[in-house]
Amino acid sequence: MPLWLELTLRVVGVLAAFLILPLLVGQTEHKVMAHMQGRLGPMYAGGFHGWAQLVADGIKFVQKEDVTPREADRPVFRLAPAVALVPYLLALLVIPLGPGDLVGQPLDIGLFFVLAVVGIGVVAVLMSAWASANKYSLLGGLRGAAQLLGYELPLVLAAASVAMAAGTLSLSGIVEAWQPWWLLWQAPAMVVFFVAGLAEIRRPPFDMPIADSELVFGYMTEYTGLRFAFFLLAEYVGIVVIAALTTVLFLGGWQGPFGDAYLGWLWTLLKVFAVSFVIIWLRVSYPRLREDQLQRLCWLVLVPVSLGQLVLTAAVRVAT
């Protein structure tokens, strides 16, 4: 196959995942929340069970007026939603869907690359908060910066534990080195990574930067139309990325109970949607954490647990 054709197919595949998987997760969230909370919700768009409601919402966002506040820093204000989306698109490039060539771009330092680009999300939060010229937005942005910078540390430490266990920073290499017994001795790291990942994408109960009962809608208060839709899309792509990283690092990626490499992509998708379901479940089940509770959980619980897991992993590696 010519190189240009292979590159085109890989880029198209990543873009398709970037556009389709978040819509599926968003539709699942609406329906799962409706069942858990006993709400009917929209049931007519598209016919069967309101399957096209998210498509209808997207069309609605496109038609809405794009308003920029008079006192806003217009270039920064308009650029922030794109900056929120780009890191997750880059992350999807290196997350393997299956063995062999089922990855956008295999990298020997894939884990380092993903953690680096996901951390750029704090820049989009600060850009939107400062450029909006709104005190509620600025307060939400400062909360978001404190949260993202704090939870970055346990996220990286937990990922470093499994990378040390596998002896590689390659995401595909980590999946190949994974063993079922890792579900036990890497379980603390998985919990820390998952919780810190929720905080990184600002999902409930870690949604203090938005806190609609206090800050209107935080750093997104002044956004309308398509730019607001981009922020929502970034949230759902973030769910996919965190679920995919949890799957690849701690749940064996494409490895299934029957050892069939041809169905590896299916096992990966099933695990990703299972983890996404847990993320949705937590949104319905737990109230929003206060700022002091959020920081206490990070620095007094997650960081010590992740450091302890790192010491355990180092000891096991030396012993074996």
35-65 pLDDT tens trace: 887 777 777 777 777 777 777 877 877 777 7
3-state helix, strand, coil in the chain (%, to 5): 75, 0, 25
Domain limits at 209? Answer: 3-319
CA angle 299, 303, 304 (to 5 degrees): 105
Assess contact for 200 and 118: CB atoms under 8 A: yes
Q: What is the pLDDT of residues 95-116, one digit of tens each?
A: 988 787 777 778 888 899 999 9
DSSP for 279-320, written as a single string: HHHHHHHSPPPPHHHHHHHIIIIIHHHHHHHHHHHHHHHHH-
State residue 261's pLDDT score.
64
Q: What is the pLDDT of residues 104-155, one digit of tens each?
A: 778 888 899 999 998 888 888 888 888 888 888 888 888 888 888 889 999 9
Q: Cα separation of 197 and 158, whole Å?
A: 11
pTM over 0.75: yes
Residue 260 scores a pLDDT above 70: no
Name which of 265, 252, 263, 110 is nearest 177 in CA terms. Answer: 252
Q: Cα separation of 144 and 150, whole Å?
A: 10
- Counted domains in the chain: 1
Q: How far is CA 4 from CA 8, 9, 11, 52, 95, in A?
A: 6, 9, 11, 35, 21
Q: Cα separation of 22 and 239, whole Å?
A: 8
- Mark out the alpha helices in 38-73 (DSSP H runs): 53-63
